[in-house]
Amino acid sequence: MSANDAASATVGESAERATEAAAEADESVIDLAGVTFGYTATPVVEDVSLRVEPGEYVAVVGPNGSGKSTLMRLMLGLLGPDAGTARLFGEDAARFDDGERVGYVAQQAAAAEDMPITVREVVKMGRFPYLGLDRLSDGAFADELADDPVRTARRTANVVSGRLTADDWETVDDALATVGMSAFADRRIGRLSGGQRQRVFIARALAGEADLLVLDEPTVGVDAESVDAFYDLLDALNDAGITVVLIEHDLGAVVEHADRVVCLNREVYFDGPTDEFVESDALARAFGTEARFLTGGAE
Amino acid sequence: MSDPLTAALVAWLLGAVDGSLPLAAGTQPAALTLQGGFAAVGEAIFAALRWVLAQWYWLMDWAYYLTGLEMLNPRYRYMHRAILVGLCVGVMAPLIGTFLVHRQLALIGDALAHTAFAGVAVGLFLNAVIDLGVSPYLTAVVVAMIAALFIELISETTDAYNDVSMAIVLSTGFALGTTLISLNAGGLAVGVNQFLFGSLSTVSPQSAGILLVLFVVIVGTVAVTRNQLLYVTFDETAAAVSGISVNWYNRVMVMLTAMVVVGAMQIMGVILVAAMLVVPVAGATQVSRSFTESLVVSVVLAELAVLLGIAVAYYGGVTAGGVIVLVAVGIYVCAVGVGKLQSARGGREVPEMGSIETDDADPSAGTGGD
């Protein structure tokens, strides 16, 4: 078994175990019920109900300003709904504290162009949720200490000092191998192309052993050839059991890759299989609303 | 002072910061136990600081005997302390500055320096009016940290750091400082220049001790929280999604910045202190490939600027703060040149991207292309 095979096996096995565990517990990955939210009195997202089950590949589409990114922030607990409930892996999204289970990939602009930081250092961040003083309050800590005091003491020292263990580094390198970026590990991320950078951010999520990957218009500003490679990567990860939620404006990519489409324009216009979405008039209705709004027509 | 607990705390504080007063003097019986505890801890800390200073003097004496450099002469203990303060500033300023610069918060150092000036004015004012005997650097730390939290709260409320909030805090700090000084001009104006422009000769054992405490707190905090600070600096949203409390770490960062500013103010002065947070980091960014490397390089550049600056200031009889900044800027210009050379030489070899590999995936999928 090559290093890459080992890496891929690790990703696949980990995600599949998580998927099976979630399915056994009848636990939706994301569960929004009647969610309404507005930055002002006017709601940006209104009465949205949405369940994402383990292993799904869901794309959220809609015109500009339709509330896609706001919906994503609600899903992740970064915003609290004005009405309704948002749950992540069965927990209240705002209080969800298993952050390593969620990988987030933003538009490439999020990465500081001039910051001197290597690809490996970025991917390493995926392991940070496993480090830090707050990890010591983990309920399992006392049990582990009783079972294996030496190993636990060593792990505690690493957690407190913020040092990655050899196992952590192996996970980081495996994640890089999985996205085909091992050769770029010591390069400054600012020197990479848009598509390469997005692969690195996927690797960061994999390093955290995420069960859910949330991507907010990840291919904006990425050249066409790299976009294809990027979506192939998402397909492969989804096939390996990772749940994918994709906020996307590129309808062609959505139709080609996602299993399910949610069409949003403040409220949900369509939620179903991709082939049904293609044949429905949801897109025309959702985008048509926006067109009428822009020309001053009242809905 | 009617509350005995408060009286005990104030008495301890006065005793701790003013060597002329005995520790725990003037306390009342009701607070003796607590005060005794504080006094014991305080005494232990100050004993440790005195020991560190004594060792530093010894080291500098040896350096003088080995090098014969006049500025290291054992008669000039103030220079020994100035070098110690400079070396500490050379570590902690770029350490915090690296996180600030890459979050494009370079100006926050300037804003906090001006509020620290207000803190100095508050200390001088209290000393002049009610003879409190507290070190102005101590009041500067308190006021700068309050201002730091204020800036952070504004940014949390408005969802963004902005120039306007920093400008308001900066102006308010300086306005408060100048007003307090003008209220009692005869007593205060005399000592203001050293805080505005910094001075090598006025680094007292007491202020060197305060700086050592700040140094330990800052370096220790960064050592423990560096991963979280890096994640928040690089990608705030992803950090929040991963469960890191972004607001909490932002507060830690601005509080540490306030401490650095006050620490560096002694030799750099209010007006130039922000330069130590920014210039060495900007230089390191030009020549470093990794974040870890940039931290190390920025500290090396800052130490170089501090030591050269102090030496030039001593032998040239000029203000240390100004010379240190000029040297730092000179180093930055050199770093830009080196960075350009590195860019011209490197980047020609582009490694090939590997295949996307997952266990169920087609190994040939998504190869190359970027």
Please indicate if any CB of chain B lies within 8 Å of the CB of A51: no
Chain A residues with CB under 8 Å of B242 CB are 99-100, 102, 104, 125-126, 128-129, 208
- CB–CB of B354 and A4 under 8 A? yes
Q: Which of A76, A111, A239 sits opposite B358 (nearest CB)?
A: A239
More confident residue, B20 or A19: A19
pLDDT in tens, B208-261: 888 899 999 999 999 988 999 999 999 888 999 988 888 899 889 999 999 999
- CB–CB of A116 and B241 under 8 A? no
Q: How close, in Å, is residue B228 to chain A by CA atoms?
A: 7
Band of residue A83 on the pLDDT scale cut at 50, 70, 90 = very high
Which of B358, B362, B364, B367 best probes binding to A when mutated, by most A CB atoms within 10 angstroms? Answer: B358
- CB–CB of A188 and B289 under 8 A? yes
In a domain, B281, yes or no: no
Q: What integer pLDDT is reported at residue A291 of this predicted model? A: 39
Chain B residues with CB under 8 Å of A116 CB are 284-285, 288-291, 293-294
User: Does one domain contain both B136 and B58?
Assistant: no
- CB–CB of A230 and B366 under 8 A? yes
- CB–CB of A225 and B370 under 8 A? yes
Does B31 have pLDDT greater than 70? no
b/e A19-28 (16+ beta carbons within 10 angstroms → b):
beebeeeeeb
Does B128 have pLDDT greater than 50? yes
User: Does one domain contain both B177 and B191?
Assistant: yes
User: Does one domain contain both B2 and B136?
Assistant: no
Mode of pairing for the β-strands spanning A83-88 and A91-92:
antiparallel
Query: Which of A2-11, B92-101, B178-187, B300-309 bottoms out in mean pLDDT, i.e. has the lowest?
Result: A2-11
More confident residue, B202 or B243: B243
CATH of the domain at B215: 1.10.3470.10
User: Does one domain contain both B154 and B230?
Assistant: yes
Q: How close, in Å, is residue A297 to chain B by CA atoms?
A: 32
Does A259 have pLDDT greater than 50? yes
User: Does one domain contain both B188 and B51?
Assistant: no
Sign of CA dihedral B297, B298, B301, B302: negative
Q: Which of B234, B237, B354 sits opposite A181 (nearest CB)?
A: B354
Could you tell me the two tokens for B336?
Answer: 């830009």
- CB–CB of B370 and A223 under 8 A? yes
Q: How close, in Å, is residue A6 to chain B by CA atoms?
A: 9
The chain B residue lying nearest A123, using CA atoms, is B231
What is B74-117 written as a DSSP string?
Answer: TT-HHHHHHHHHHHHHHHHHHHHHHHHHHTT-TTHHHHHHHHHH
Band of residue B185 on the pLDDT scale cut at 50, 70, 90 = low
Q: What integer pLDDT is reported at residue B96 of this predicted model? A: 94
Q: Coil, helix or strand for A274?
A: helix
User: Does one domain contain both B244 and B158?
Assistant: yes
Q: Which of B116, B60, B113 is nearest to B84 (CA)?
A: B60
Kindly state the percentage of chain A with pLDDT values over 70. 82
Over range A150-167, report the average pLDDT. Answer: 76
User: Does one domain contain both B198 and B266?
Assistant: yes
d(CA B27, CA A266): 66
Band of residue B32 on the pLDDT scale cut at 50, 70, 90 = low
The chain B residue lying nearest A175, using CA atoms, is B357
d(CA B214, CA B221): 10
User: Does one domain contain both B98 and B10?
Assistant: no
CA dihedral A220, A221, A225, A226 (to 10 degrees): -70
Q: Please, which residues bridge with residue A212 across strands?
A: A102, A243
Q: What integer pLDDT is reported at residue B224 of this predicted model? A: 87
In a domain, B138, yes or no: yes
Do the interacting molecules here have an ipTM over 0.85? Answer: no
**Listed residues B214, B246, B273: the one ending a domain:** B273
**Listed residues B234, B255, B273: the one ending a domain:** B273
Does B291 have pLDDT greater than 90? yes
Task: Provide the 8-state DSSP code for A49.
Answer: E
Does A166 have pLDDT greater than 90? no
Q: Which of B49, B274, A249 is nearest to B282 (CA)?
A: B274
The chain B residue lying nearest A76, using CA atoms, is B241
pLDDT in tens, A185-240: 999 888 888 888 888 988 998 888 889 999 988 887 777 777 888 888 888 889 88
Please indicate if any CB of chain B lies within 8 Å of the CB of A96: yes
Please indicate if any CB of chain B lies within 8 Å of the CB of A113: no
Domain that holds residue B15: 1-75
Q: What integer pLDDT is reported at residue B107 of this predicted model? A: 84
Does A273 have pLDDT greater than 60? yes
User: Does one domain contain both B120 and B134?
Assistant: yes
Q: What integer pLDDT is reported at residue B23 of this predicted model? A: 38
In a domain, B265, yes or no: yes
Q: Please, which residues bridge with residue B52 across strands?
A: none
- CB–CB of A104 and B242 under 8 A? yes
pLDDT in tens, A103-121: 898 876 555 677 899 999 9
Q: What integer pLDDT is reported at residue A6 of this predicted model? A: 43
CATH topology for the A3-43+55-283 domain: Rossmann fold (3.40.50)
Q: What integer pLDDT is reported at residue B268 of this predicted model? A: 84
Q: What percentage of chain B's residues is helix, strand, coil (to nearest 5)? A: 80, 0, 20
Please indicate if any CB of chain B lies within 8 Å of the CB of A30: no
User: Does one domain contain both B85 and B25?
Assistant: no
Q: How many independent structural domains does chain B possess?
A: 2
Q: How close, in Å, is residue B170 to chain A by CA atoms?
A: 27
Q: What integer pLDDT is reported at residue A49 of this predicted model? A: 93
Which of A235, A238, A256 best probes binding to B when mutated, by most B CB atoms within 10 angstroms? Answer: A235
- CB–CB of B235 and A106 under 8 A? yes
How close are the terminal C-alpha atoms of chain A, in Å? 60
User: Does one domain contain both B112 and B142?
Assistant: yes
Over range B145-173, report the average pLDDT. Answer: 80
Query: Which of A132-146, B128-142, B225-239 bottoms out in mean pLDDT, i.e. has the lowest?
Result: A132-146
- CB–CB of A112 and B102 under 8 A? yes
Q: Which of A5, A131, A186 sits opposite B227 (nearest CB)?
A: A131
**Listed residues B253, B273, B293: the one ending a domain:** B273
Over range B366-370, report the average pLDDT. Answer: 35
User: Does one domain contain both B215 and B265?
Assistant: yes
More confident residue, B213 or B365: B213
Q: What integer pLDDT is reported at residue B29 of this predicted model? A: 53
Q: What integer pLDDT is reported at residue B57 of this predicted model? A: 93
Over range A42-59, report the average pLDDT. Answer: 92
